[in-house]
Every structure is written in structure tokens, then in C-alpha cells.
Amino acid sequence: MNGFPWLSGLIFLPLAGAVALAGLPAAADRLHRRWATGVAAAEFLLSLPLWWRLVPWQPGWQFVEKHPWIPALGAQYYLGVDGISALLVLLTTLMTLVAIVGAFRAVGQRTREFYALMLALEAGMIGSFLALDLLLFYVFWEAMLIPMYLLIGVWGGPRRIYAAVKFFLYTMVGSVLMLVAILSLYFMYRGLTGIGTFELDAFYAMPIAPAAQVWLFLAFALAFAIKVPMFPFHTWLPDAHVEAPTAGSVILAAILLKMGTYGFVRYAIPLFPQASAQFTPWIVGLALVGILYGALVSMVQPDLKKLVAYSSVAHLGFCMLGLYAMNSQGFAGAMMQMLNHGISTGALFLLVGVVYERRHSRLIADFGGLWKPMPVYAAVFLAVMLSSVGLPGTNGFVGEFLVLLGAFRTQIWWAVAAAAGVIFSACYMLWMYQRVIFGPVTHEENEGLADLTLRERLVFAPLLILIFWIGFMPQPFLDRVTPALDRTLELSRQRAVAARLTSAGIGTPVPGVVTRVPAGGGR
Amino acid sequence: MSPLQAPALLTVDWWALGAVLALSAGAMLLLLLEFLPPKPDSSRSAVLALAALLVSGWAVTVARDARRSIFGGMFVHDGFTVFFTLLFCAIGAVAVLLSWDYVKRTRINQAEYYALLLAATLGMILMAASNDLITIFLGLELMSLSLYVLVGFRRSLLESNEAALKYFLLGAFASGFLLYGIALLYGATGTTNLAKMAEFLAGSPQRSNSLLVTGGLLLLAGFAFKVAAVPFHMWTPDAYEGAPTSVTAFMSAGAKAAGFAALLRVAARALGGVPAEWLPALGAVAVLTMTVGNVTALLQNNLKRMLAYSSIAHAGYVLVAVAAGGPDGFSAALFYLAVYSFMNLGAFGALTLLGRGLQERVLLADVAGLGFRQPLLGLALTVFMISLGGIPPTAGFMGKVYVFGTALKAGLLPLVIVGVLNSVISIFYYLRVTVALYMEEPQGEPTEVSWTAPARVAILLALAITLWFGVQAGWLLVQAQRSVLGLM
């Protein structure tokens, strides 16, 4: 707002850092680590103003930057934030920093390329959260696949190539159809007004006939559902998570999956509310299946990383359930669940990475009694595990509770089914924790395992702080997101009405009928 | 423009012909100079060829905004001509840079090679600039004959011979199609001049005359052969594989763009846009071309063959734009052709560097692990693959957005869906290259890379263009749109 392009800075700082890193000599591992950490830390600091300079109840976008990009098409370089994207950007900058520091020991080969890709990935993720021009969003959305693909494929486990290619192709299938839908929206708008633009606000103001909404919604929803991932589209996730290096898994779980739910909040639901409502039974059904299926499959996993990966399917099912409860509590719960899953599951992957670095095994059966050699580790693991389960006092509880509340208000049995998922999640998490941490040390190799080092403690510290901060005092977070969420909800309702009018032939489809709602239901 | 005014005595604007003249002079000079044999590793011919191409490109920009019709309306100089002349000169120049060292190490006779390269470029320019079916045919034959020879240039090599023979036989067949189509069109309209043909058709109820429709479709088949569209693509993989790699790079970009240029010119000038009778045929050919090209490419282990099938698929994407028709569709085709030319030149260009001496290391396994040993080459090849796959932030993505966007606007949703799904299929084999580059270890003797300064310049140029038009496509878009304005 005040001249300095904060948001462009957020996108281009890591990109510049990555390019500069690529120019450093190949053999200077320590230098690469320091440089990457420095850039990620600077990026985190640069993103902090989003926390206190954002005015949550102010409608519309903030920190806006708008420049012509491809004038011949009407595409713009249009960035802005509201409460939703601001928190996700903060999550991104924090988790990237944590993942980079967490990878110090794990990545010993080709460190230069590794950290350069991590920083490039960060730029792509932040860009897709900030873009308000659909073409620009799409560019970031897809460009971000390349570094992630390489991270999995080059530094991953034994089946890394299969996992990387699968990850890429799955995401592409959904994305290209979304591109077609974006182009359709563009021509629809141009047909109505004669102005070619990819601006999100313009599409928000355009009523879309219900018949068109169905197809457009399906195209968008498929892209996002694969990313979330929702139940039948989730099969890329266990492969990608298990094969990716720890830092890759952390970013994948903490941020990339949020891209999908963010896509629903920002694009699929408010743009196509009518179709969205029409498909609610399907989406909620799949979300519930995801919650239960994810939990049940987690329970039988012998591999720690796979267990955490499947638990993601269940947690993201909660997000989707919250969104499709279509009320204030559900939305807020989904949003909190997005943040919580980012923090807790990110931390879980880091915890798995810690023992993997020491033992080169991720099998639950190879551990047991770790509390004895690694007491600090056991304590951290306990806190993170309980937050993932959703114990009151930790962040997980806030999100799940709000989601259940929202679901309960819409359909009681949704909440009942989802609550069963909460119980299952306690089962698999606690059982896993018991087998890994408690009991006698069953393997001799584990007796001499080193506890968390200072660096590792520093990595987990901010995550633990957030877990308890959100757990005990979620209000500052809710204050930031709820006004924006309520505005989105209100916008969806209005657009649904406008769509019904166009189909009934009452209203003329003139853009501008729907204006962005003022202040909304903020506090 | 003022100090360069054409002499009033002559009715011909020589500046408008400048590009053609420069290339002709360059080609002849190259051959003449062979009377003074250079040292075997001299770069004289390459320098001369590059100079001819640069002068040619410069000459056409001098008369950039002029509109001229020369030689009784057979040769026109307009925005379309300027666009394609510049494109062909750029393709030729990059090809010369790529050939610079390649022809030396594969011991190809330089003067003849570069003279033929210039002649082929000249043919391409004539195809784009002709306003008469006869001159289009002459340009096409000049290009084709030069390319037949270039493909078979490594005459001691069996594959090269086979490629040239196959290309020649099938090409002659296609020329026959084209000529027969021209004859039928002449029979239907009484002229070969495109403008007169348009005049004739405008006032007559002849539009669905069977002679005219058959003639038009035969013409389409002839051009489809040149752009390697299915089912006229059979020659492509063999010719591309057997040809010297630098020639493959040149023809995959240039010949395809020239074929499309002539097709667009004929459709726009003579038939007033893409005729409705063509739409089913064009749509079917586009779907087949994309699908067959991409699916077959999945099975290739030789990178030259794989890229050959990929270039077939890309002809399909351009056909989607052609089918969309109108100024939008045509400018999308121009945009895509320009973008495609550079990324494909870059991709084949990177392959010219693999191997030492006469050896050619272009199997997928040969690039295994190359990405970390040769970071710049790895990066370039990755970017070209990503761009060919249509993933941002590269020019290939912008090309696809523009092509599919215009097709969507023209109501060709099924074609667009087939197109985008095809681009997902294509990503699988483009990714295989990056998998080999970065995720696999070399088996056996690692591939040697012949980095030389000219090739480095060429690849960096293609890389810069591919990335630049990926993030800033506006300028090229405007140029493409302006170039078709005068055409419609």
C-alpha cells in the first residue's frame, strides 16, 4: 500500500535467492545451507508484516499490486491478500524455513541444487496464494510442480522416479482441465462486457448460469480435489510422501495440500456456488470416506511415513467437510484445520526424518522404547502427536471442533460420522506412539541413539509454540481469517441467488449485479 | 526509411525483395568461394551464411511497414511476409550456429551445406510471401529439394541415405498431390493468383463446386505432408532420425512453419478464411495428429525419434488454431509456430552437442546423469522439455493458452479437451528426459559433450527466448496479431 511492493518482494526474494545460490560453487555445502537459511529467514521476516499490518475486517484485497502483464490478452500481474491468504503465506514462509534447517543433515549430496529448488518452490507457492489474476495463478500453480517433482525425483527414496512422475501427471490431469475452465470464464466475461480480463474480482461480479457452472465447477474441483487430495484421487499422495526427502514431505504436506483447499475457498466455491451446492452430497460423502478410510488405512501401516501420509488424507477430509458445511463455523474450522495440519503434520514428518537420519529405517517395528535414549524427542513427539489427534489445548482441537460444529449445524449425521474419524485418529496415533516410544528398547541399535540436537530443537521450537498458542488462544488467528471467510460465504450466497435469477430469466446477466459485500459478518 | 527510398525508375521495391536477394546472393557466393578452398576447419562458410541471414533479416525490417505487391502480384510484402521472413532468418541463424561445429566434427562439406541451408530458407520465405499458387509451389520445391539433399548429407551413413530416400519419395508424392490440387483449383477458378481466385469466388455460387472442394483438400494434403500431420507423417521419424542433427533442428522448425505459412496464406487470401468444408477434415487431422504423435512418442528411446513424434504432435496443436480460423486463430497459429520453432531448435540443438567426432549419442540412456555433469546443458534441455510440454513459466505454455483459448472461443470445445489431455500425455515422455538427466546414473561410458562457443550462443538464445516469452508474451502476441491483419 505504501509504495513498497511487499508481495512482489515475497515472491521474488526466494527466487533471487535461488538464482544466486545456483551461481555459487558446487562443493561448498556449508555455504549453501547458510545461504538458503539466510534467504528463508529473511523471507519469513519479510512476511511478518502480513500478521500485524493486515486489517482483517477491511473488505477487499490488501497490499494490492496491479500492473498490466499481457495487455493483448488482458492478463494482469495482480497480487493481493486477505486474511485467508495472509495466514497461508505466513505458514509457507515458516514451514520452508523449518524444512530447510531440518534438512541440514539429511541432504548431503548436491546441496546447491536442493536448496535452490526449495527456494524456487517457495516462490511458486507464495505466488499462487497471492495471485488474483487467474492466468497468473495458473502459472504459479503449475510452475511450482517442477521444483517439487525434481525434489522428489532426485533426492527421494528407492521408488522416487515412479512417485515423482505420478505426482506430476496426476496434478497435471486436473490442472489442464482447470485451464480450459479458466479460458471459458475469460470468454464468457468478454462476451458479456467486451473486456478481456482474468481478474478474479471481475469473475466474482459475473453471474454464471447454473448449467455452465456445473462444468466449470467440475473442472476446477477436479484440479483442487487431486491436490487436496480427496478420497479417490489420493493415490499419488502416499507414494510422493514416502519417497520424498523429509523436507519435501514437510512442504508437500504443510503447503501443497493446502493449495487444494485454498483453491476451493478462493475459486471453486465462490465462483460456482450453485454447482457447488449441487455437488455437496458427493463432496461431503467423499470427504467422510476420506476421513474414515485415511484413519483405517493409517492404522495398519508398518511404515511411519506412510502412516503420517494417510493421516493427511483423513485430516484434509475434515477441511473439506468444514468447507462444505457452508457456514461460518465450518469455514473457520476448515481454515484452522488447514493451518493445524500444516504445523502438526509438518512436524510429524520432521520427527520421522529425525529417526530416519539416525537409523535409516522408518518401520515402526524397528523402534520401541525410544523414550529412554531420546527423552526430549519423546516429549516433542508426544505434543505433536496429541495435536494431530486433536487433544484440547492443542491446535488440532480448535480446528476439528469447529469443523464438527459446522457440520453438526448443517447435517447431524455428518458430524457423527466425522467424530468417528476423530476416535480412529486417536487409535492409530496413540498406538503408533506406544509402539515407537514406550516399552523396553527392543533393538540394540536404538540404545545409543542421540537425542535431539540443538539445531533440531530450534526447528521444533516454533512449531511447538504454535501448537500450544493456537490451542490455548486461537482468537488472534480466528480474528484474522473469519471476516474474510464470512465475506466469501456471503459472496457465494449472493452469487447463488444471482445465478438462479439468470436461469429463471428474471435478471439480465449484467456484471456488477453482485458487488463484493462490505464488512461482512466480522466482529 | 527516407534515405533508403527505392529508386523511382524501378517499379519494384527492392527493399521488399531484400531478404530474398540477400539469401540468393549468399548461397551463390558460398559456392563461388569454393574455388579458393579454405582450410578444413575454417569457419568461412558459416560466417558467410550467418551474415547472409542477418542481412536478410535486416533488409526485411527496413521495409517493415510497407505493403508491396511485386511481379504482377505473385510476391507480396506485408506483415505476414515480414513475420515469417524474420522467423525463418532467425531459425536459419540458430541452425547455422548449431551447425558451426557439428558439420566440422561430422566432416560435412561446409560450403554446399550452408548454401543448401540458405536455399531452403529462401524457399520457406517464398512460400510465406507468395500470392500465387505457382510461386508457392516453386518455393516449396526449392525448400524441399534442398532439404532432401541436406537430410542425406552424411552419405557414408546408411541411415542418412535411407532417410533422404524416404523423404524424397514421399515428398515427391506429396508434391504431386499439391500440384494436382493446384490444377483442380485452376480448373475451377481459371486463375492461380490467390487474390483473383478470391474475387472469382466472392461473386459466384461456386463455393461448393466439387472441383474446388477436391482441389482444396488435395492442397491441404500436400501441406499436411510438409507440416508432418497424420496420416501424412510416415516420413518424419525416419527423416529426422537419419538426418544430421543440425538439419533435423532446422527442418523441424523451418519446414513446418513454412508449410503452415503457405496454408494460412492460401486459406486467408484465396478462400477468405478456413472454408467450412475443411473443418471436419481439419478437426479430424488435428485430433489424429496430436494423439498419434504423442502416443507414439511415449514408446521411443531414441531422443531424435521421440522429438520427431513430438513435433508431429505439435503440428496438431497448430492445426487446432488453424481450425479455429479467423484473425484470432491465425495469429494464435503464428504465435505458436514462433514459440515452437525456438523451443524445438533448442531441444534438437542440445542433441547436436552429444557425442564426439562422428559418434552420435542420442538415446535416452545417453543423457543419463548429464544434468549434474553439465548443469547448463541440463537446465537448457529441461526448460525446452518443459516448454514443449506446455508447462509455465515457459513460452510453450503461453502458446498453448493462446491456441486453446482461441479454439475455445471458436466453439471447438471437443478439440480443446483432446488437446489438453494430449498435452498431459506428452508430459510423460518429456519428463522421461528430465528423469534421465537428473535421476538416473549413466550406464557404461558417459556421453561426451562438444560444447563450443557458437552452439552455446545458439542454445542460450533459444533458452532466453523460451523463458522470456513465457513470462512476457505480450510483444510477440501483438506482432502475431498485427501480422495477420493485412491477410484477412
pLDDT per residue rounded down to tens, chain A (523 residues): 457 888 999 999 999 999 999 888 888 888 999 999 999 999 999 999 999 888 888 888 999 999 999 988 889 999 999 999 999 999 999 999 999 999 888 888 889 999 999 999 999 999 999 999 999 999 999 999 999 999 999 998 889 999 999 999 999 998 999 999 999 999 999 989 988 899 999 999 988 888 889 999 999 999 999 999 898 899 999 999 999 999 999 999 999 999 999 999 999 999 999 999 999 999 999 999 999 999 999 999 999 999 999 999 999 999 999 999 999 999 999 999 999 999 999 999 999 999 999 888 889 999 888 888 899 999 999 999 999 999 999 999 999 999 999 999 998 999 999 998 889 989 999 999 999 999 888 888 888 888 889 999 999 999 999 999 999 999 999 999 999 999 999 999 998 888 888 766 544 444 444 444 443 333 3
pLDDT of residue A106: 84
Q: Burial, B82: exposed, middle or buried (Cβ in 10 Å; 0-12, 13-18, 19+)? A: buried
Instruction: Give CA–CA dist B197/B204, Å, rounded.
Output: 11
Alpha-helix residue ranges (DSSP H) falling in B130-202: 133-151, 158-189, 194-202
Grid cell at residue B203: 461473386
Q: Nearest-CA residue of chain A relative to B402? A: A73
Q: Provide the chain B residues 435-464 that lie in CB contact (below 8 A) with chain A.
A: 435, 438-440
pLDDT of residue A497: 87
Cβ-nearest to B439 among A72, A153, A169? A153
The DSSP secondary-structure symbol of B444 reads S
- Give the distance from residue A227's alpha carbon to the nearest chain B alpha carbon, in angstroms: 16
pLDDT of residue B116: 95
Q: Write the CA distances from B320 to A387, B291, B324, B482, integer angstroms.
A: 53, 13, 6, 20
Cβ-nearest to B477 among A72, A138, A145? A72
Asked if the model's pLDDT at residue B73 lies above 90, the reply is no
How large is the ipTM?
0.91
* Residue from A175, A183, A198 to probe the interface with B (highest B Cβ count within 10 Å): A183
Helix, strand, coil shares, percent, chain B, to 5: 75, 5, 20
pLDDT of residue B10: 52
- Mean pLDDT in residue range B112-120: 95
A222, HSE (Cβ side, Cα atoms, 13 Å): 17
Residues 6 or more apart in contact with residue B88 via CB below 8 angstroms:
B121, B124, B125, B128, B254, B257, B258
Q: What is the pTM of this model?
A: 0.93
**Which stretch of DSSP H or E encloses residue B77?**
strand B75-77
Query: Strand, coil or helix: what is A443?
Result: coil
Cβ-nearest to A172 among B427, B440, B481? B427
- Give the distance from residue A139's alpha carbon to the nearest chain B alpha carbon, in angstroms: 5
B47 touches chain A (CB under 8 A): no
* Cell 498485427 belongs to residue: B482
In chain B, what residues touch A168 (CB-CB under 8 Å)? Answer: 427, 431
In chain B, what residues touch A164 (CB-CB under 8 Å)? Answer: 435, 439
Residues 6 or more apart in contact with residue B112 via CB below 8 angstroms:
B31, B34
Instruction: Give CA–CA dist B138/B126, Å, rounded.
Output: 8
- Give the distance from residue B208's alpha carbon to the nearest chain A alpha carbon, in angstroms: 32
Asked if the model's pLDDT at residue B8 lies above 80, the reply is no
Cβ-nearest to B477 among A73, A138, A146? A73
Q: Does A183 sit within 8 Å of B401, measured CB to CB? A: yes
Angle at A80 between CA A77 and CA A82, to 5 degrees: 160
Instruction: Give CA–CA dist A461/A255, Å, rounded.
Output: 19
A154 touches chain B (CB under 8 A): yes
Question: What pairing do the DSSP bridges indicate for beta strands B68-70 and A62-70?
Answer: unpaired
B401 touches chain A (CB under 8 A): yes
Q: Nearest-CA residue of chain B relative to A68? A: B474
- DSSP string across B370-397: HHHHSHHHHHHHHHHHHHHHT-SSSHHH
Q: Nearest-CA residue of chain A relative to B480? A: A72
Instruction: Give CA–CA dist B409/A284, Å, rounded.
Output: 34
Q: Does B434 sit within 8 Å of A142, measured CB to CB? A: no
The DSSP secondary-structure symbol of A229 reads T
